[in-house]
Amino acid sequence: MKPIKAGLLGIGTVGAGTFQVLQRNQEEIRRRAGRGIEVTMVAARNLERARAVVGAGCEVVADPFAVVNHPEIDIVVELIGGYELARELVLQAIANGKHVVTANKALLALHGNEIFAAAHAKGVMVAFEAAVAGGVPIIKALREGLSANRIESVAGIINGTTNFILSEMRDKGLDFATVLKQAQELGYAEADPTFDIEGVDAAHKLTIMAAIAFGIPMQFGSAHIEGISQLQAIDIRYAEQLGYRIKLLGITRRTVVDGEEGIELRVHPTLIPSARLIANVEGAMNAVLVQADAVGTSMYYGKGAGAEPTASAVIADLIDVTRSATVDPYSRVPHLAFHPTELADVPVRPMEEISTSYYLRVTVQDQLGVMADLTRILADAGISIDAVLQKEPGEKARTDIVIITHQTREKFVDAAIGKIEQLPATEGKVVRIRLESLG
């Protein structure tokens, strides 16, 4: 069979990695795929640099639409990132009847519904394993490996930058700003790290996983997003003393509350029991924990970013698309795991309605009776206490009281916090971090 022809849009880190792995492993890949995969055309801003990467035998152009509109390209690999141009290019490729492979989570989280509808109408594939957790085949696991299951929840460490920062903060007892600066120097964080540290990147990936886990449309606009920039070293330390680690988790869960089905879709720092395997995922690694009714707990772990790990996922998609290209579209694995007519429009639940456990840190003037007041407020709100830690941070006559609650609704906790902050002994704001037992 003659090789399938792919065109790359963008030849930066991931593009160059894809090109190089395709070359290096061309024999392995051909032995598996049954036919070769050739990159015959690349669109790049810096033509000279692109030519240095791809060498002769591959056309380099400045205009990405020249790739998308080229009659001999079978698969377009979108690696330029961003929303608008990427959206136009992908939609144009689909309109031209080409299959698409993309690593662009932002694009899919925001415009996925439009893109998958267009691909479905045209009978082409849009593959996106590289959009979540780099080379870890989590899209394939959720969409195919666990297809027998009713998936209940997905919880993932899906941003390497923030996991690196949190690991360093814990390991070295440093504060956020110091570690961020180191991470930038080491290349683990970008010059503008906002999307990573504020949880936006994780929310993009979580949105995609929620869609394929539950058969719902992309609902990025409804995701609750909190990053780690406000996290203080002292809370990491207290959590440790209580047997927990703090991770930035993306959590999505299908729940029924008062008879109404809803989806939780939330990214925030989260305490996890230290004994859980996922609590021990350190540095820039990613891991996704899935709960499903038949298989129970399963976890998928690996590098979430980098040239070759991401290339691994891009090329796996290229091979899948190559195999499925000749297949009747109805028999292919559906883009969002469920057939398009079978998607369910389950709404995202507002955060005040979610149920979880909480870590609360209250700084008080060390005065008699304050613990009684605190516990009374929680008891009145129907919130039961799992553990308490009382610590003197050393300075002045202040005491930190740390409380771990049992599971309760967020609105009850927030109401109780309002009352705690009104107590005369309370200094400043109460620190509230969510806690998941992931049991």
Q: Does 90 contact a second copy by CB under 8 A? A: no
The neighbour count for residue 319, using CB atoms within 10 Å, is 18
Question: Least distance from C-beta 125 to a second copy, angstroms?
Answer: 13
Among 292, 381, 431, 438, binds a second copy (CB under 8 A): 292
Catalytic residue among 98, 205, 247, 303: 205
**Rounded CA gap, 379 and 416, in Å?**
9
Give the DSSP letter string of 353-404: G-EEEEEEEEEEE--TTHHHHHHHHHHHTTPPEEEEEEE--SSTTEEEEEEE
Cα 116 from Cα 122, distance rounded (Å): 10
Residue 268 host element (H or E): strand 260-273
Among 29, 44, 110, 402, binds a second copy (CB under 8 A): 29
By CB under 8 A, name the one of 62, 88, 150, 260 that touches a second copy. 150
Of 79, 334, 377, 401, the residue at the interface with a second copy (CB under 8 A) is 334
> Least distance (Å) from a second copy to the CB of residue 143?
8
Are 405 and 383 in contact by the 8 Å Cβ rule? The answer is yes
Question: Using the rule CB under 8 A, is 149 a contact of a second copy?
Answer: yes
What is the rounded distance in angstroms from the CA atom of residue 31 to the CA atom of residue 22? 13
CB contact set of 221 (below 8 Å; sequence gap of 6+): none
DSSP code at position 247:
E
Q: Could you say which residues in the range 102-131 bind a second copy, by CB under 8 A?
A: 129
From 23, 24, 186, 230, residue interacting with a second copy (rule: CB under 8 A)? 24
Of 308, 400, 410, 436, the one binding a second copy (CB under 8 A) is 308
What strands, in cross-sheet order, belong to the sheet with 59-61? Answer: 59-61, 37-43, 4-9, 75-78, 99-102, 126-127
Q: Which stretch binds a second copy (CB under 8 A): 32-40, 57-65, 369-377, 387-395?
A: 32-40
* Residue 256 sits in the site that holds a second copy (CB under 8 A): no
Indicate if 205 belongs to the active site.
yes
Contact indicator for 73, 41 with CB cutoff of 8 Å:
yes
Residue 105 or 111 having the CB closest to a second copy? 105
Q: Please, which of residues 216-255 interact with a second copy by CB under 8 A?
A: none
Residue 162 vs residues 27, 166, 286, 358, 432: alpha-carbon distances, Å? 37, 6, 10, 21, 19
x/- letters, 336..375, toward a second copy (CB under 8 A): -xxx--x---------------------------------
Which residue in 46, 241, 280, 384 binds a second copy (CB under 8 A)?
280
Please spell the DSSP secondary structure of 224-241, one letter per residue.
EE--STT--HHHHHHHHH
Question: To the nearest whole angstrom, how small is the minimum distance from the Cβ of residue 28 to a second copy?
Answer: 5
List residues with catalytic annotation: 205
Binding site for a second copy (CB under 8 A): 1, 17, 21-22, 24-25, 28-34, 129, 134-137, 140-141, 144-150, 215, 277, 280-281, 292-303, 306, 308-309, 311-316, 318-320, 323-324, 326-328, 330-334, 337-339, 342
